Structure 1
Amino acid sequence: MKAAERLGKWIERYEANGYLNGSILIATNRNILLNKGFGMANWEHAVPNKSTTKFKIGSLTKAFTAMGIYQLHESGRLCIDDCIGKYLPNYPHGEKITIYQCLTNTTGIPNYTSFPDYWSKTMRLPMTLHQLIDSFKHLELNFEPGSKFEYSNSGYSLLTAIIEKVSDMSYAEYIREKICRPLGMNNTGCDDGIEIVEDLASGYSFWEKPIHTAYADLSFPLGAYGLYSTTEDLFLWDQALKSSQFLSKELKEKMFTPYLSSYASGWVVSEMFDRKCMHHFGDISGFSSNFLRFADEQVTIIYLSNMNVTPVTHLTQEMAKVMFDEHVSIPLPTKPINFSNTEPIAGKYFIENDEIKILDISINNGELYLTVSKLYGVLYKFKLVPVRHNESQSTFVTEMINEQLIFHYSLAGEIVGVEYKDFNEKKYIAYKNKTSALVEQHKNV
């Protein structure tokens, strides 16, 4: 079976179950095999996602910022081995932190999005780039610059300021004029939260149904995670990265070479399915995205979603497996059966070998719902759809993401435990009381 056929079958089931939200582009040898929108760009006005829908791309932005820095290096306007103090004169430790360390997340500068009050307060407030830098520049370094890797949006904010200082252009203007316009990427830009961007999707979270995400001010993400784009524009970007249009071969190789970890400059470079892959994940305000580039195999997979619970990292890896003809599992169809014995199932289930994660199952209007934590420990609530039942077990699947719960019954009809398979296909065993979970845990020690 050809890759396009395998891909079509995989997509068909996931789409039928409502598990795909956003826009997906998959290409091989420059030929686009899939370029399609799924779900809603805007739930309020029933606007569907299309292949041309714009999405906030979060940290996929870092690759553009890195390219800007390397362009300025190649033109002789800066050197990536310069200390940042040369361009930001009053920055503490500026004499021992280099531009290259900012590119590779090895500065030791604390990551401002990890500060305790960021999610509850700071992200909602407007700031200039310089006010943002002032918020972290006097903090003690987490380690000696260049000694270890630690992901930091703060370093990419400094790179944003350096691009603006050296080019004498705003970051948004630089990216538009020096990268996007030459490539015909007319649907990519910097989202300031004020200007109206046509065809820009709205970002959502999920609690029984799609809901709005917490407000985030867009005045300061800029070169760390501030761009919007489309899958089609990002494919143009992907193709340009294969050429020497922007950088010499040597400098491009430097940009894609990891330093101290699998992180290079705006890209992660690692082995995936025994193949070299350049990739990056992004998330911001209800949007999540993942970009995989298997350069040797000429396979590109881009997934931009406006539903933050969509597991884009896992799904893009599954798509890669499909492309490489490796085994993938297909979700059970979400075709509900009649099931009325909901009362015994409701309750809290404690996962063996995990004292934190709990499966909280509740009843609402006669239907079962699962509340469970996901990325960053955030709780989500999904409707459970009954799909199989017999005397020994009942099987449910969740709406919105591909998860499965199998409840096992004793001969007396009581629930003795539940098998929980999350969207990553990781399996857990859970029990309705904490004592049972601990007993089983000790049995396995």
Structure 2
Amino acid sequence: MNRILRFLSLAFLVSCSVTYGQKNASVLAPRLKTLDSTLTVLHDRAMFSGVVLVAEQGKVLYKKALGTGNIGTNEPLTTSSAFNLASVSKQFMAMMIMQLQERGKLSYDEPVQTYLPDFPYTTITVRDLLNHTSGLPEYFDLAQKYTGPLDTLTNDSMLQLLHQYQPAVIFQPGDRWEYCNTGYVLLGSIITKVGGMPIETFFDKNIVRPLKLKNTYIYYHKSSTTPRNRVYGFRRENGKNVPDDLIRLDGVIGDGNVYSSADDLLAWSQALYTEKLVKASTLKEAFTPVKLNDATTYPYGFGWMVEDSGKVLMHTGSWVGFRTMIVRYIDKKQTLIILTNGGNAAGRVARDVFEGKTPQLPKTQLITNIRLIDGTGTAPRKAAVRLRNDRIWEIGELTTFPNESVTDGKGLVLAPGFIDSHSHHVSGFDKQPDALAVVNQGITTIVSGQDGGSYWMDTLRAQLKQKPVAVNIATYTGHATLRQQAMGVNGLYRTAKPEEVDKMKALLRTEMSKGSLGLSTGLEYEEAFFSNRDEVIQLAQAAADSGGRYISHIRSEDVMIDDAIDEIIEIGRVTKMPVQISHLKIALRDKWGQSSQLLAQLERARAEGINISADCYPYDYWMSTLRVLFPKRDYTNATSAEFAVNQLFDPTQSVLVRFAANPTYAGKTIGDIAQLRHEKPAQTLMGLVAEASTFSLKNPEAEGVEGIMGKSMDEPDVKNFLAWSQTNICSDGSYGGHPRGYGAFTRVLGRYVRDQKLMPLETAIYKMTALTAEHLGLKNRGIITPGYFADLVLLNPDTVTDNARIGASSALSTGIEAVWVAGQLVYQGQKATGAHPGVLIRR
């Protein structure tokens, strides 16, 4: 055993040898030194297993091999190791076609059908295959659809799939350029047919032997060829190397499956400066950008990307566990070859270093000693999580890399960053870019544009560019915002005319194209209250047609709640898109206790195929305007005011948060103000509405003239709504006013999870993360899994709680120990770090 280990250690050291040339040392030496150290760092952090070679005038200036050629045997890589070139193989296919063309065996502009009679498309030429202008679909899709899991795809069986099923072309040949592996597999078939021998034999006879290549051959799944120095593909998966090599699609030859070493590729590259294989005039066409039908060009020739007006020729390859690159700097006679087998992406970094650019090395950090609640609803597990840049990379039993940043989780819970599906915080970010109200409760993404009011996508983008913030922002497009644009601020108190609806739909489609999540309505508010169902459904359909969603502060949460629920269900039924009820509640005293019946109605709709869901905040009092307490909009009707006092809110527990007409009222209940005014609460309610209206008329630029926190829900209903399987958690919060702006999520975790045991912690976190992302259609967020964005929260489930209260609505939560957004720490120890990595999330 020790003898074997000593041998492997010696072999590994040899494979790491570095050779420097002397020529052009003043320019290249510093770059090569940086390249060497960069590759070492990447290898130490499991991001590079492969070979890099740099040459000038055919002389090797630098070459290095680091890593393993076969994870099963731990055989080390050398510069003679033969890698699957993946798409770099295409230049060899193109060369063999060029050789056949020179010999008069074929013509580029002949239809493929001339050489492959079973090929069903009459207008696609050999040139179209070479240039990626054929319009053919990818063969992967055909194979997955029409072949079985034990079938090995071959060139012949792929051709038969095309012959039998004749899939439609994506575009007419020559109309545009679109990379197509199918075309190069067909070229492989043409080489076999026209060359009169198996492609492996033709390749060996016409390229390998003339160039005296030692480790270059064609090898494929179930190949009879005996590979020399074959490298096996693998990938790193949660801290371990696992095989990632040839699959059942790899019975084909043409788009990949040429194997070669760095040394051989250098010989190949140098041969292209000569006429050893084809004439210079033939090669020239291979390096000429393709001309499309409209006379424009695309920088691709025959198996080569053409950069910098032909001064640089390159190609990359990516397949299973292999990533490859060859770059030829024609004017400098330099060659850069990068071959890797760990599924890593060192190519771009190595090229940047060689070209004198500052390399952007991936940054990793490790969070250890945590109980992982990953957002899926499954039970906690012990683990470590490694981040790479802004993404989650690995999860499991992980070993620290040299000089890696490590956070000790101290046995606490690591969860995905919470997603607030209904937030009004964005309006405060101009003065609060640290987003303390949000991050102190573990939220890393907020969704704006709620209740029918929104910022335009371009406005949000400009604001974020000018003043970055700590958290991510997504938005819906508000119905009321659209109405104001189409109907004018003073024209909202009526149904919209057909031409106005058309204008709103056009505006909505534009916003959808810029990344809006969908349509948001606030149908209980005056700006949208007078819209009819047809207007709303037409707009919702426009959002659905653009792939969006619908979210609504429904038309009534009290007197007309039955009709309002029916309306949103109908919208989901007609448009067939997901619909969501904002801040689900029952705000009519006579209907308290009917949450189970309402949820049963929603479940019946779901059984019908309507994708309806809800969000909910954990309080039995809301925040809105005084005017919503008059469902009939009859603000001077004493009977309606009396009904509001008795059925719609409790004046003794409902606090006037702000009142510009008389600021001394702020912080007092409606009952308190009634006593001060020696009035009954109903009379006070009407008086406050009238006074606020007068103030607004005199101060038309004033915003937020009045606001009330209304006590009107029953705690058992709130708990039922929170517990429903299709309810995700939201805050409906902003800076100041209702305590929910600072404490909604931590209130759920403390009050309803830990203290009242309403649901398990992992279920609550699911409702704050993955379920929310699903309801919103957000991708790569809400779960801790490799490849997802590194939005994370570290929390102590034993101490987490909200501290915000009426009168102290900005008190920070306890138990949120750390928050990361896009891998950057934004909150720790109840303080913002000053990092502002938030982005505008587009649908």
Q: Deviations over 1:36-74 (max 9, x none)?
A: 211111223221111111111111111011011111111
**Aligned mates of 1:301, 1:345 — CA distance in 2:** 46
Matched, 1:3 2:28: yes
**Aligned mates of 1:394, 1:41 — CA distance in 2:** 41
Residues 67 and 214 (structure 1 numbering): CA distance in 2 closer, same or farther, change over 3 Å? closer
2:174 pairs, out of 146, 154, 171, with 146
Match of 1:243 in 2: 274
**Aligned mates of 2:788, 2:303 — CA distance in 1:** 29
Give the counterpart letter for 1:303 in structure 2.
Answer: I
Residues 326 and 222 (structure 1 numbering): CA distance in 2 closer, same or farther, change over 3 Å? same
Secondary structure in 2 matching 1:225: coil
Match of 2:213 in 1: 185
Q: Mapping of 1:107-256 within 5 angstroms?
A: 107-115=134-142, 117=144, 125-137=151-163, 138-194=166-222, 195-208=225-238, 209-213=240-244, 216-217=247-248, 220-256=251-287
Residues 329 and 7 (structure 1 numbering): CA distance in 2 closer, same or farther, change over 3 Å? farther
Give the counterpart letter for 1:320 in structure 2.
Answer: F
Q: Deviation of residue 412 (structure 1)? A: 1.7
Matched, 1:407 2:831: no
Give the counterpart letter for 1:348 in structure 2.
Answer: P
Matched, 1:262 2:299: yes
Residues 90 and 197 (structure 1 numbering): CA distance in 2 closer, same or farther, change over 3 Å? closer
**Aligned mates of 1:348, 1:210 — CA distance in 2:** 26
Instruction: Give me the CA root mean square deviation.
Output: 3.3
Residues 35 and 127 (structure 1 numbering): CA distance in 2 closer, same or farther, change over 3 Å? same
Moved more, 231-240 or 109-118: 109-118
Q: Deviations over 1:173-210 (max 9, x none)?
A: 11110011100112111113344423211111121221
Moved more, 208-217 or 28-37: 208-217
**Aligned mates of 1:250, 1:125 — CA distance in 2:** 42
Match of 2:840 in 1: 441
Contact 1:359 1:372 in 2 (8 A): no
Contact 2:51 2:339 in 1 (8 A): yes
Contact 1:63 1:266 in 2 (8 A): yes
Moved more, 216-225 or 166-175: 216-225
**Aligned mates of 1:191, 1:145 — CA distance in 2:** 31
Structure of greater Rg? 2
Q: Deviations over 1:67-110 (max 9, x none)?
A: 1111111111111111112111232123x111111100111111
Residues 125 and 237 (structure 1 numbering): CA distance in 2 closer, same or farther, change over 3 Å? same
Which ranges of structure 2 fall in alignment gaps of 5 or more residues?
1-25, 293-297, 364-400, 418-443, 446-471, 475-777, 791-816
Aligned pairs, how many? 384
Q: Deviations over 1:322-364 (max 9, x none)?
A: xxx3433566784146642366683224673684233855xxx
Q: Mapping of 1:89-108 within 5 angstroms?
A: 89-94=117-122, 96-108=123-135
**Aligned mates of 1:297, 1:357 — CA distance in 2:** 43
**Aligned mates of 1:237, 1:264 — CA distance in 2:** 17
1:299 pairs, out of 320, 334, 340, with 334
Match of 1:346 in 2: 414
Residues 329 and 97 (structure 1 numbering): CA distance in 2 closer, same or farther, change over 3 Å? closer
Percent identical among aligned pairs is 24
Give the counterpart letter for 2:779 in structure 1.
Answer: I
Secondary structure in 2 matching 1:301: strand
**Aligned mates of 2:110, 2:310 — CA distance in 1:** 34
Contact 1:66 1:103 in 2 (8 A): yes
Contact 1:302 1:316 in 2 (8 A): no
Secondary structure in 1 matching 2:254: helix
2:92 pairs, out of 61, 64, 84, with 64
**Aligned mates of 2:473, 2:276 — CA distance in 1:** 52
Q: Deviation of residue 417 (structure 1)? A: 8.9
Contact 1:133 1:154 in 2 (8 A): no
Give the counterpart letter for 2:341 in structure 1.
Answer: N
Q: Deviation of residue 317 (structure 1)? A: 2.4
Contact 1:106 1:145 in 2 (8 A): yes
Contact 2:818 2:829 in 1 (8 A): no
Moved more, 36-45 or 13-22: 13-22
Give the counterpart letter for 1:43 in structure 2.
Answer: I
Q: Deviation of residue 166 (structure 1)? A: 1.2
Residues 346 and 136 (structure 1 numbering): CA distance in 2 closer, same or farther, change over 3 Å? farther
**Aligned mates of 1:177, 1:123 — CA distance in 2:** 34
2:352 pairs, out of 318, 323, 331, with 318
**Aligned mates of 2:226, 2:830 — CA distance in 1:** 61
2:359 pairs, out of 310, 325, 328, with 328
Give the counterpart letter for 1:126 in structure 2.
Answer: T
**Aligned mates of 2:169, 2:256 — CA distance in 1:** 22
Secondary structure in 2 matching 1:24: strand
**Aligned mates of 1:185, 1:312 — CA distance in 2:** 26
TM-score between both structures, scaled by the size of structure 1: 0.77
Secondary structure in 1 matching 2:255: helix
Residues 283 and 265 (structure 1 numbering): CA distance in 2 closer, same or farther, change over 3 Å? same
**Aligned mates of 1:124, 1:189 — CA distance in 2:** 26
Residues 408 and 235 (structure 1 numbering): CA distance in 2 closer, same or farther, change over 3 Å? same
Moved more, 189-198 or 27-36: 189-198
Contact 2:83 2:339 in 1 (8 A): yes
Give the counterpart letter for 1:242 in structure 2.
Answer: Y
1:357 pairs, out of 780, 801, 804, with 780
Give the counterpart letter for 2:87 in structure 1.
Answer: S
Secondary structure in 2 matching 1:441: coil
Matched, 1:288 2:331: no
Q: Deviation of residue 314 (structure 1)? A: 1.4
Q: Deviations over 1:395-414 (max 9, x none)?
A: 99xxxxxxx9431335625x
Contact 2:818 2:828 in 1 (8 A): no
**Aligned mates of 2:263, 2:328 — CA distance in 1:** 15
**Aligned mates of 2:283, 2:32 — CA distance in 1:** 31
Contact 2:185 2:254 in 1 (8 A): yes
Q: Which structure features the higher share of strand residues? A: 1
Give the counterpart letter for 1:10 in structure 2.
Answer: L
**Aligned mates of 1:116, 1:85 — CA distance in 2:** 21
Residues 123 and 177 (structure 1 numbering): CA distance in 2 closer, same or farther, change over 3 Å? farther
Match of 1:424 in 2: none
1:48 pairs, out of 66, 76, 83, with 76
Contact 2:119 2:159 in 1 (8 A): no
Secondary structure in 1 matching 2:193: helix
1:372 pairs, out of 787, 799, 802, with 787
Contact 1:159 1:223 in 2 (8 A): yes
Residues 373 and 240 (structure 1 numbering): CA distance in 2 closer, same or farther, change over 3 Å? farther
